[in-house]
Amino acid sequence: MTTREGRPLLYLDVDGPLIPFRARPTEHGPTSRTATVPGQASGNPLVDRLDPADGRRLMALGCQLIWATTWMADANEIVAPRLGLPELPIVDFPDDESPQHGLHWKTKPLTQEAGDRPFIWLDDEITDTDQRWVRTHHQGPALLHRVDPLVGLTDADFAAIRRWLTTR
């Protein structure tokens, strides 16, 4: 998958950022934040932790959204409709990519995929090692933003992304 639009790329992981490991608190009960498609239909009850507002807020960033997740095509079939997202491109990670010296297995392929384009990577497993590697190997601006997997994307995460988009 390669794209040459002018917008920054936003690589998006599912488990942790969009489906937090803890249930999200709601104001009006457990179904107030879930989309119209029940989690039982997917065979994964955790999809009920998706917040449709995340889809609207991601689209409002103006980035080119790209799935960077082990969910692969299931991200478009199961996750995207619940977030109100269109079908998104999916990073095709190589099977033979083995991480080196503490580097996350996604870091090198995502950086290569971005080329010289600005990119944001939202994931719950990003480390300082990944940050250093991207600073050394990527020619354009990049924001590697670690999302707390217990709570998923928050207002503070979106504020950090918007701040980076306006100051890059």
Q: Tell me the CATH number at 157.
A: 3.40.50
How many structural domains are present in the chain?
Answer: 1
**Residue 129 domain-assigned?**
yes
Q: Is 103 left (phi over 0), alpha (psi -120 to 50) or beta?
A: beta
**Residue 26 domain-assigned?**
yes
- State yes or no: pLDDT of 4 exceeds 60: no
**Residue 2 domain-assigned?**
no
The Cβ-side half-sphere exposure at 41, using a 13 Å CA radius, reads 11
State pLDDT tens for residues 7-32.
Answer: 999 999 999 999 999 988 764 334 44
- pLDDT bin (cut points 50, 70, 90) of residue 42 is low
The pLDDT mean for the chain works out to: 88
Q: How far apart are CA 96 and CA 100, in angstroms?
A: 12
**Residue 60 domain-assigned?**
yes
Do the beta carbons of residue 96 and residue 84 sit within 8 Å?
Answer: no
92 or 99: which carries more pLDDT confidence? 92
> Domain range for residue 88?
9-167
**Residue 138 domain-assigned?**
yes
**Residue 3 domain-assigned?**
no
Instruction: Write down the pLDDT at residue 94.
Output: 86
Q: How far apart are CA 72 and CA 69, in angstroms?
A: 6
Write down the pTM of the prediction.
0.87
**Residue 28 domain-assigned?**
yes
